[in-house]
Structure 1
């Protein structure tokens, strides 16, 4: 049909960090460097690929080394050049910020982050606030996450040697991100379950926008909000300050 965009080939990406962040996770920057214990990538036409460093004994290491983190950045860049669009949930604000620090690849991470699709950032630019991936999955009728753990537990579980549990969790995250992206684009709307338990939706007529494209969206009306929402400037502060 004329005017319809060609479906993107997505490569979802997610990290799990090494350091526990007590209290409000929104204040994670005050606890950096967080370190990365593992990551997952998953192309829309393949199975998840898991990333972590290993010890000399062949066991998963406590944290990814700088060379291994840099190799992950290089892989993301290579896949972009092969026609894939990197896909994250909050990656522009969190995952790429942490990865840039851990890999010492700030400029390359900035480039990838600007040209990737961060669904959470799209929502911030469109609505002035973000939504949890689980609530987005429920909004479009997907089962969401299973396994009885949260990302906040990953550092403790990894330190305790529960590597498979954490790796299964991060692989599940990238699969779910791909499913949410595809389902929303098929429906041409984004839907989520609100804090009150009701379903809400916003039109998504032309699919997800890259960070660069989302920045061009008009500022949303947030005058109704009783607490300060997320700002696009705060999300991307690391790109400006780095």
Structure 2
């Protein structure tokens, strides 16, 4: 294994209409909770704000988000490499907005491994975490996903949401490590077949490194996404 990874994920707090199209159009979203899971740990760490009665708050406070960012920075200083699936285009962007710590989040985002972004830079299209997880024999729970987590949190189902965000970290960690060991990331396509994308001999690339890959051929696509869809917020 080339890296000691720390997977991290957030859950948003804002309840959205069932037919929403663009999640970012409803910002600010708030953050109900977050989680991390390290390569050499058997359990995750979860983070959320508390009310005066010690119950979970509707969303994390800027002060607690600042402390969470400091936690991520301290783990990087200890030698961990942060790994996410779409953390560049979502988690770090939202974390920066909610905490106000733009410079710290930009630095963390540039230097972390976003598996989806690495894949996107190589192929020109994204894949979901669950598609990659299923290719190695695991998957997300069927009864919870990110779209229902805000309502569950509001309804007091805090542990269910904390378990879900932690499980996403575990899936991210498992996919990152299995892919690096295999020298490729595999995924289940929309047609149900399995495909794969090779990784460099050094393993996963950071956002900064992946951004230097040559642009893939997307001439077969009607409306290919530009990399700026994910990196635009990094510009100060």
TM range (shorter): over 0.9
Cα RMSD of the aligned pairs, angstroms, is 1.2
Give the TM-score taking structure 1 as reference length: 0.93
8 A contact 2:56–2:158 mirrored in 1 = yes
Q: State the partner residue of 2:219.
A: 223
Decide whether the 8 Å contact of 1:130 with 1:230 is kept in 2. no
Q: Write the distance in 1 (CA, Å) between the matches of 2:224 and 2:189.
A: 15
1:130 pairs with 2:126 = yes
Structure 2: distance between partners of 1:212 and 1:186: 22
Sort the Cα spacing of 1:199 and 1:208 in 2 relative to 1 into closer, same or farther, 3 A.
same
* Unaligned 5+ runs, structure 1: 1-5
| Equivalent position of 2:27 in the other structure | 32
**Cα distance per residue 1:206-241 (max 9 Å; x no partner):** 211000000010001011123x2332111011112x
* C-alpha distance in structure 2 between counterparts of 1:52 and 1:115, whole Å: 25
1:12 is aligned, of 4, 7, 11, to 7
Q: Deviations over 1:111-153 (max 9, x none)?
A: 00000000011011011111110000112x2221125111110
In structure 1, C-alpha distance between the alignment counterparts of 2:45 and 2:226, rounded to whole Å: 32
Q: 1:199 aligns with which of 181, 188, 194?
A: 194
1:3 maps to none
Q: Does 2:103 correspond to 1:102?
A: no
TM-score by length of structure 2 reads 0.95
- Confirm or deny: 8 A CA contact 1:136 1:180 kept in the other structure: yes
Matches within 5 A, 1:31-110: 31-46=26-41, 47-110=43-106
In structure 2, distance between residues paired with 1:153 and 1:229: 29
Aligned residues: 233
Unaligned ranges ≥5, structure 2: none
User: Structure 1: how far apart are the matches of 2:79 and 2:45?
Assistant: 18
CA separation in 2, counterparts of 1:174 and 1:127?
24
For the 8 Å contact 2:50–2:57, the answer to whether it is kept is: yes
Distance in 1 between residues matched to 2:234 and 2:194, nearest whole Å: 34
The 1-side partners of 2:49 and 2:108 are apart by 22
CA distance in 2, matches of 1:94, 1:109: 12
Could you say if the C-alpha distance between residues 62 and 177 of structure 1 is closer, same or farther in structure 2, counting changes exceeding 3 Å?
Answer: same
